[in-house]
A and B are shown apart, each in its own frame.
Chain A
Amino acid sequence: MPETMRRIVIENSDEISKKWLEEVAKKKNEDYTSTISEELYESTNREFVNVIFASINKQQNLKVLTEFSDRLINLGWPLSYITDGLQTFRRVTIDFILNQSEKVDSDYLSRILNVVDDWVEPIIKQLVREYSGSWEHTVSLQRLALQELSAPLIPVMENITIMPLIGTIDTERAKLIMENLLDGVIKNNAEVVLIDITGVPVVDTMVAHHIIQAAEAVRLIGATCILVGIRPEIAQTIVNLGIDLSKFPTKSSLRKGFNTALKLTNRDIVSLSDDKDQDISNLLDSLK
């Protein structure tokens, strides 16, 4: 019975494909794929239906399926394209077989449904697995990338180190910040550490709490922590929240903080070009 049906479907694959392509083409305008060019959409549809038939014909055809799904994933097509397409295929095929049959009773109908399900199910499973696998892979890579970005420490000059923070700080990141900060202070022999929070969107009590703890820990190992990059709106929310940041110096910008750090390490910025200009004007004056 499944074999006869398979034969019917394979023999009439042209007609079924035609119907399927018509149905799927209708879908294009109403949703996600409306931005994809007409030619690409049609050629992908044709390829998709070929993949489906190849899979029905030979049962096991993982390589073709994998190649097809890989390409779709790379192009960024939604998973719903595949599930919708297979759903449509199921409907079209069942309709077609029913039209071909003379006598239809409920027993026959349920057998048709089973057989078609057996064809479509493995394809759906395989493609969904490919898709979710690729998502999981992407998510884990991004998590790794995020972790690398979490808490960088830049030794800008002797005894002065900067930690720029960008993005949301969660518990895990707060831990990393603390560890990197303390490690870095010891390793770079830093006297002053600047924590720049220009890129932190929201400073709530949890974030403030972690920063205070980190600053306190830095103080314990004998260095000074300066909090810089406090935007005006952040300053106001900190005041509203009633957070006490008076235990360590804070500055509005990294530049001001850096100047303070220089002072703390008994250094100053001296402009060389001004001196030169002065020298030249002195020279010119003497020539007069």
Chain B
Amino acid sequence: MKAQSSVQINKEWDIVGARQMGREKAKELGFGSVDQARIATAISELARNIYLYAQRGRIHVEVINDLNKKGLKIIAQDEGPGIADISKVMEDGYSTSGGLGAGLPGVKRLMDEFDILSDKEKGTTISAIKWVRS
């Protein structure tokens, strides 16, 4: 069973909306407060990346409810300029915007699974999954 909802990211305040949606879904799924905070923070990072680098995009939140495991999948999708060097952005401390450079590697550590696809013409899609601990 899969249920998906998504939020459009166009302005800075949309990040708050995306975060709220993720937190609600995480609560419904039965994540603890620490994991809820992790999910909300991961969405915040991904949404902010969209806002900063691609200007517009979408955050999808998908509930994974299989027989043996439950989880939440976040997909951040944009049609921005793409990431020139993926291995570089996954390094701690690398930033092109003067930030801390902890965003993407941080998201990877906050979540259980992490996948990144980037193309100069098609933009970037990042998906990350957090499993409910049973």
Residues of A within 8 A of B (CB): 168, 170-171, 201-206, 208-209, 212, 232-234, 236-237, 240-243
Q: A171-B12, A241-B110 are in contact. Are A208 and B100 (CB under 8 A)?
A: yes
- Residue B34 CB within 8 A of the other chain: yes
Mark the stretch among B41-49, B67-75, B81-89, B118-126 that contacts chain A.
Answer: B41-49
In-complex Cβ contact of B106 among A170, A234, A236, A240 (8 A): A240
Count how many pairs of residues, one from A and one from B, have CB atoms less than 8 Å apart in the complex.
67
Q: Are A209 and B99 in contact (CB under 8 A)?
A: yes
How many Å from the CB of A225 to the closest CB on chain B? 17
State whether the Cβ of B16 lies closer than 8 Å to any Cβ in chain A: yes
User: Which residue of the partner chain B has the closest CB to A242?
Assistant: B102
Q: Are B102 and A205 in contact (CB under 8 A)?
A: yes
Nearest CB in chain A: distance from B40 CB, A: 5
Please indicate the chain A residues that have their CB under 8 angstroms from the CB of B45 in the complex. Answer: 204-205, 241
CB-CB < 8 A to B48: which residues of A?
Answer: 204, 206
| Complex-state Cα separation, A236 to B100, whole angstroms | 17
**Known A206-B99, A241-B109, A242-B109; contact A232-B34, beta-carbon cutoff 8 A:** yes
Chain B interface mostly? helix
Q: Is the CB of A242 within 8 A of B92?
A: yes
Q: How far is the CB of B89 from chain A (nearest CB, A)?
A: 13
Please tell me if the beta carbons of B37 and A237 are within 8 angstroms of each other in the complex: yes
Residue of B15, B99, B106 with most partner-chain A CB within 10 A: B106
Asked if B19 is an interface residue, CB under 8 A from chain A, the answer is yes
Report Cα–Cα, A237/B102, bound state, in Å: 12
Q: A236-B37, A240-B109 are in contact. Are A202 and B99 (CB under 8 A)?
A: no
Q: Which 6 residue pairs across A and B have the least CB separation, nearest first?
A: A241-B106, A233-B37, A204-B44, A233-B34, A240-B109, A237-B41
Return chain B residues, CB-CB under 8 Å to A241: 41, 45, 102-103, 106, 109-110
